[in-house]
Amino acid sequence: MSTVIQKATIADIPAIQQIAFTTWPKAYGTILSKEQITYMLQLMYSQDELIQQMNKGYTYLLAVNDAQIIGFAAYNAITPIQYKLQKLYMLPATQGTGIGKQLLQTVIHQVKSAGATNLILNVNRQNKAIGFYTKMGFQILKEEDNDIGNGYFMNDYVMAIELN
């Protein structure tokens, strides 16, 4: 697989939505109810929400293989030296191929180049991606329960990596 990582634009929103809607039921189907998954996808991946994020400074990166978008990541600055990885999803068929690692390494390179000294993320406490992030050098800082409305919570670990 020859994969290119490139910056997303508003025109790429349908592809980002397609990946999220394909990936989430697999990633969270045994962790969250179908109703919560549907609610969160509508909340976080509506066209208006994604446009607003891009306009507020979120950088979206796409993993593109043979002209097909197979994954994406999004990050933003929290402070001049701390950035947050907001999203990282790969189509299920591409997981385990090393492309997610390539995508995360690109995020790390970009935020370091922008002056970041650490990168944080939130991950569901039952998500198997914790192992991936740990292998990539992230460490669990704390647990966090975030009320996202409609009676739903995100029960996460906050993880971080120091960028030297």
Domain positions in the chain are 3-162
The per-residue b/e assignment along 70-80, b for 16 or more CB within 10 angstroms, e otherwise, is bbbbbbebeee
Q: How confident is the model at residue 30 (pLDDT cuts 50, 70, 90)?
A: very high
Q: How confident is the model at residue 82 (pLDDT cuts 50, 70, 90)?
A: very high
Q: How confident is the model at residue 105 (pLDDT cuts 50, 70, 90)?
A: very high
CATH of segment(s) 3-162: 3.40.630.30
Low-confidence winner among 1-5, 71-75, 99-103 (lowest mean pLDDT): 1-5
Contact 89, 71 (CB under 8 A): yes
Q: How confident is the model at residue 119 (pLDDT cuts 50, 70, 90)?
A: very high
Rg over CA atoms, the chain: 15
Q: How confident is the model at residue 164 (pLDDT cuts 50, 70, 90)?
A: confident
Mean pLDDT of the chain: 96
pLDDT of amino acid 2: 84
3-class secondary-structure state, position 22 = helix
Residue 1, pLDDT above cutoff 60: no
Residue 131, pLDDT above cutoff 80: yes
Q: What percent of the chain has pLDDT over 70?
A: 99
pTM of the model: 0.95
* Structure-token pair, residue 48: 């208006």
- Among 108, 113, 134, 115, smallest CA distance to 123 is for 134
**Cα dihedral sign, 129-159-86-25:** positive
